[in-house]
Amino acid sequence: MTKSDEYPELDFKTTDELKIDEHIINQVIGQDKAVEIIKKAAKQRRNVLLLGEPGTGKSMLGQALAQLLPKSKLVDLLCLPNQRDENNPKIQAVPAGTGRRILNATPPAQLLQNGNDNNSMYTMFIIFGVISIIYGIVNYFILSKESDVLQAANRISFTFFVTIFSLGAMALFTLGKSLSQRMVKILKPKVLVDNAELEQAPFIDATSTHEGALLGDVRHDPFQSGGLGTPAHERVEAGAVHKANSGVLFIDEIATLSIESQVELLSAMQEKKLPITGRSERSAGAMVKTDPVPCDFILVAAGNENSIRGILPPLRSRIRGGGYEIFMNNMIDDTADNRKKYAQFVAQEIKNEKGKIPAFTKEAVIEIIKASRRISGRKKKLSLKLRELGGLVRAAGDIAREKNEKTVSAEDVESAKIVAASLEKQMVQEFIEQNKDYNIILNSGAEVGRVNGLAVLGTASDSGIVMPIEATVTPTSKEGISEVIATGKLGKIAQEAVKNVFAVIKKYKGEEMKTRYDTNIQFVMSYSGVEGDSASVSIATAVISALENIPVRQDTAMTGSLSIRGEVLPIGGINAKIEAAKEAGIKRVILPKLNLEDVIPNLRSNGIELIPVENISDVIESALSETKQRETIVKKIKKIIR
């Protein structure tokens, strides 16, 4: 049976055969609950808070909501001069497309009329110049009878006067023209928001914008006197909240907004209008404040799980009171229907590239599905980290394009996995290559107090690493008091895991562990730190090995969380960890029994032995070298974990 035969639901040869729905809401993958809520939010104009991992489709849902909103209610926003108080510009809302027509409605004749306002000034200047020239000519003939020195002085001064007069005339002409044009500009409004060319309700992404860009601002004017200043209404700039009027305002990482910005955002949501004023106290714009500007938008705020603590409670209350909160799925069931959706996803990514990459064959799509299965790290699940998968699609497409292929093959996807490897994956590869020369990672023989632990780098859990853990047990340095010293930049959870391990060790060894021994634990070369509890079984094995002086097999690596009752609990990143062990030349991996079904099929048949365990006694039995003493230890441990 070929790869294609394993997936009969994918009934196409290339992704060119797949049709892509024009509606964004139908392009969202794996977020069925969120899609239904977005449809309700569009119909009822509700705010939405989306929380979940990056790359799961939050911004796409915001764009879909904007597409579902009607265009008929769109308006242009004009900023008009205020003849009574120029620092309080007026605001006018007109139907979309009307703003440009109003701006261009000033007749050309008005320009000439305003241009003549400086004629009296020109006339006076010319009269003064003519009189001065006549005086100079007359004076020249009178002084012709004087000495040569006086004549020369008179001619030099007259020439200097004429030069200065000419330059002054040109400067006056230029200034007068500028002032004349400025007078015409004062009479014209400014289009703050122009929706003339929009085919749907606006979608404004205000992620990471500063206060002025979000809430509006008034530009500073360095020329505030002498008639050279820019009128206040022309310096007004609309913010994202105003541009999103009648549409959607999308803010990712909402918790990164300052408290002040969140308060202003809340005010805009409540009042549905917000005046624009200068945001800098030292700017000339600080004195300007417009009339309230319409900003009737739907807020789609997004973030991760930790964002909840950074959202102002009244702002979150406003969203919940007038909308919905959605926790995004990060994986879906590995079913035939969902695999067809992944084929649709690949086709969508190709379309978004606008011809940069060729179509994918069915076999290439299958490789993308397998990559999704691996990233999920769960049995019968597919990952919804679509941004990461989209990167793999583009990398494979680039490789095929470079080879001048008409379609992307499965081999291209396999090559892309190497080319587009994450930084963490590249760091692991470099770490492995460097350590081959120094034998830091052992994959044969046996050592007392040394265990090959398994960990992942980064937050994506797609880059595994073999991390040696060593333990030594020495007589206590303080009589009656034992110490446990763990080094390697341990995080809070890792430190708590060490405490849980010693709860089990103390049960095993009794009072002498509390009063007779100091224990030192080292996470070898953990320069980036250690966090999490998946090294619990490794720590326990290393300590027991050091206590009993029984060597640990170095062809074995292990991972698993240990409870205070001695149970081995499931952990994350299991596939990445097994891959790391394989790359390091390790032949056996001890893992939690509950994680066995999470291992992807190709890792179960790649020559590495997987040993599922339920408790610490199973770990010790599989990890320690085979001796009579090992059997005694295993029996003793089984008694304390019952």
The residue from 261, 376, 409, 534 that is catalytic is 534
Q: Is the pLDDT of residue 512 over 90?
A: no
238 Cβ neighbours under 8 A, 6+ residues apart: 77, 192, 193, 216, 276, 293
Q: Which residue has the higher pLDDT, 412 or 607?
A: 412
Q: Which of these, 302, 350, 257, 254, lies nearest to 31 by C-alpha position?
A: 302
Which residues are bridge partners to 408 per DSSP?
A: 360
Mean pLDDT across 387-406: 94
Quick one: pLDDT at residue 280? 85
Q: Is the pLDDT of residue 124 over 80?
A: no
Q: Which residue has the higher pLDDT, 368 or 129?
A: 368
Quick one: pLDDT at residue 229? 74
Report CA Rg, the chain.
38
Quick one: pLDDT at residue 19? 92
- The question of whether 477 is a catalytic residue gets the answer no
Q: Which residue has the higher pLDDT, 365 or 599?
A: 365
Percentage of residues in the chain having pLDDT higher than 90: 50
Sign of CA dihedral 360, 365, 366, 372: positive
The structure's pTM equals: 0.75
Quick one: pLDDT at residue 227? 56
Q: Is the pLDDT of residue 527 over 80?
A: no
Q: Which residue has the higher pLDDT, 442 or 348?
A: 348
Q: Which residue has the tokens 């899609």?
A: 35
Q: Which of these, 563, 619, 630, lies nearest to 589 by C-alpha position?
A: 619
For the chain, how many helices (H) and strands (E)? 22, 27
Residue 329's identity, in one-letter code, is N
The domains spanning 4-18+330-419 and 63-103+197-327 adopt the same CATH topology? no
pLDDT, tens digit, for every residue of 275-297? Answer: 999 988 878 888 899 999 999 99
Q: Is the pLDDT of residue 137 over 90?
A: no
Q: Is the pLDDT of residue 607 over 90?
A: no
Judge whether 438 and 490 are in contact, CB under 8 Å: no
SS3 category, 293:
strand
The residue from 538, 577, 582, 622 that is catalytic is 577
CATH number for 4-18+330-419: choose from 1.10.8.60, 3.90.1170.30, 3.65.10.10, 1.20.1050.10.
Answer: 1.10.8.60
Indicate the burial class of 442 (C-beta count within 10 angstroms; 0-12, 13-18, 19 or more).
buried
Which residues are bridge partners to 35 per DSSP?
A: none
Mean pLDDT across 191-207: 92
Distance (Å, whole) CA 448 – CA 470: 9
Mean pLDDT across 392-413: 95
Lowest mean pLDDT among 103-112, 233-242, 266-275, 317-326: 103-112
Quick one: pLDDT at residue 525? 74
Q: Is the pLDDT of residue 114 over 50?
A: no
Quick one: pLDDT at residue 102? 86
- Considering the segment(s) 63-103+197-327 as one domain, its CATH architecture is 3-Layer(aba) Sandwich (3.40)
Mean pLDDT across 540-546: 91
CA 22: distance to chain centroid? 26
- The question of whether 409 is a catalytic residue gets the answer no
Lowest mean pLDDT among 234-248, 348-362, 474-488: 474-488
CA distances from 273 to 22, 312, 364 (A): 33, 20, 51
432-640: in CATH 3.30.230.10: yes
> How many other C-beta atoms are found inside a 10 Å radius of the C-beta of residue 149?
8
Indicate the burial class of 429 (C-beta count within 10 angstroms; 0-12, 13-18, 19 or more).
middle
Judge whether 280 and 330 are in contact, CB under 8 Å: no
For 373, phi then psi, to 5°, come to -65, -40
pLDDT, tens digit, for every residue of 53-63? Answer: 988 999 999 99
Judge whether 292 and 228 are in contact, CB under 8 Å: no
DSSP 8-class letter at 616 = H
Quick one: pLDDT at residue 586? 92
Mean pLDDT across 360-378: 92
Quick one: pLDDT at residue 322? 86
Mean pLDDT across 174-199: 70
Domain-by-domain residue ranges, the chain?
4-18+330-419, 63-103+197-327, 109-186, 432-640
For 280, phi then psi, to 5°, come to -110, 130
Distance (Å, whole) CA 212 – CA 309: 24
The number of C-alpha atoms within 13 Å of 458 and in the hemisphere containing its C-beta is: 16
